[in-house]
Amino acid sequence: MSMRERVLESAAELLGTQGLRALTHTRVDEAAGMPRGSTSNYFRTRSSLLTGVVQWLAEQDLAELGTPPSPPADVAAFVDLLAQAVETITTASRTRTIARYVLFLEGTHNEDVRRPLLAGRVYFRAFVENAMARLGAPDPVAAATAITAIGEGMTFQRIAVDPDADVRAPLEAVVRAFVPSSETPR
């Protein structure tokens, strides 16, 4: 791992465990176990550090995904895939997910942070739209909007309210609401 990557990983860890106020160059240096001033060598301003963390998070997510999953064969397989994704981002990747939420809130008034975060959602959104079209949803765009909304809501529920909340049942209800009773893939 390069020194720059250590800085970014430590910055994401700080965001996910201690929040936005913890993100200072000095605290990142300490968390990364690097000499004071190291973070400033890579990111002169806090804004550039935030932007760097957003890009790093997106890169980590894409690397973790690897090869895109095959389109689901039926509703049950699709719901299983979605539920597993929410399970993973609220357990194994919990700190990174919290860091992303912190950054989304920062992005409400910082376009440099918001833009790359939204770009990172395009991949998932396209996958959901394509899956719903394959499953026969008459309006895959509306279906993708509802499914991503419930997925994000269940993620927030598990992160902030109830870490054991069932995600499968709500996801299944929304997916089935958009798929005709016949589950024959196109």
Domains identified in the chain and CATH numbers:
51-178 (1.10.357)
pLDDT, tens digit, 9 for 90 and up, residues 47-77: 899 999 999 998 887 777 666 678 788 999 9
C-alpha angle with apex 63: 60 to 68, nearest 5 degrees? 130
Mean pLDDT of the chain: 92
Q: Please report which confidence band the pLDDT of residue 84 belongs to, taking 50, 70 and 90 as the band edges.
A: very high
3-state secondary structure 133-157: HHCCCCCHHHHHHHHHHHHHHHHHH
b/e string for 51-90 if b means 16 or more Cβ within 10 A?
Answer: bbbbebbbebbeeeeeeeeebbeebebbbebbbebbbebb
2: helix, coil or strand? Answer: coil
- Give the mean model confidence (pLDDT) for residues 156-162: 97
pLDDT for 183: 47
| Residue 83 pLDDT > 90 | yes
pLDDT, tens digit, 9 for 90 and up, residues 100-143: 999 999 999 988 888 888 877 888 899 999 999 999 999 999 99
